Structure 1
Amino acid sequence: MSAQSPEGSALIALLTEKFEIDPARVRPDATLESLDLDSLALAELALALQERLGVPVAESEATKRTTVAGLTATLTGKRTAAGAR
C-alpha cells in the first residue's frame, strides 16, 4: 500500500514497526481485525497514533471492523480540522 498522506504513513509505520505486521498485509481494505489486532492492541494503536499525530483517537474510531483506509481518512479529517482552528 502506498501512503498518500502523513497520516497514512504514520499508521503504516506503526502497524509494521510496533505491531510487526508484514507490510504486504497492510492494504487499504484490510480491517484491523484481519491484521490480528485484538482489543489491547487497538487501544495501544489509538494511543500511539494520538502521540504521533497529536489528535485524539476515540475507541469507536479504531475498532476491529475499521479498515486501514477508513482510519487514515478519519485521522486526516481530524488533523485538517485541528489545523483549521
Structure 2
Amino acid sequence: MSAKSPVESALTTVLTEKFEIDPAVVRPDATLESLDLDSLALAELALSLQERLGVKVAESEATKHTTVAGLTASLAAKYAAAAAR
C-alpha cells in the first residue's frame, strides 16, 4: 500500500474526524454529497482544508458533485505549487 500524500491525508482526516465519516466510505470515487455533506458542511470542509494545507479552496472545488479524488487532485496541484515557493 502506498503512503498517502499530505493532501489526501488532510482530506481523510478532516472528513473522518470533523465530520465523523466512516473511513471505509471515504473512497476516491465517492462524491461529497454521497458522504452526506450539505452546503454548510462543504463550506466548513473548505475552511478546514485551507487551514491545514495553507492553500485557498474555492467554492467551485468542493461541491456536492465533487469526488474525493477530484478534490484531492485539485488541491494537490495547489499544494505542490505553494510548497515550491
TM-score of the alignment, normalized to the shorter chain, above 0.5? yes
Q: 1:66 to 1:6 in 2, by over 3 A?
A: same
How far apart, CA to CA, are the structure 2 residues paired with 1:56 and 1:3? 24
Aligned residues: 84
Matched, 1:24 2:8: no
Aligned to 1:70: 70
Q: By how many angstroms is 1:3 displaced? A: 5.9
Query: Over aligned residue pairs, what C-alpha RMSD do you find?
Result: 1.2
Aligned to 2:82: 82
Q: By how many angstroms is 1:81 displaced? A: 1.3
How far apart, CA to CA, are the structure 1 residues paired with 2:44 and 2:73? 19
Matched, 1:5 2:17: no
Q: Deviations over 1:29-76 (max 9, x none)?
A: 000000000000000000000000000000000000000011111111
How far apart, CA to CA, are the structure 1 residues paired with 2:10 and 2:25? 16
Identity of aligned residues (%): 81
Aligned to 1:43: 43
Q: By how many angstroms is 1:82 displaced? A: 1.5
Matched, 1:57 2:38: no
Q: Which runs of 5+ in 2 are unaligned?
A: none
* SS of structure 1 residue aligned to 2:70: helix
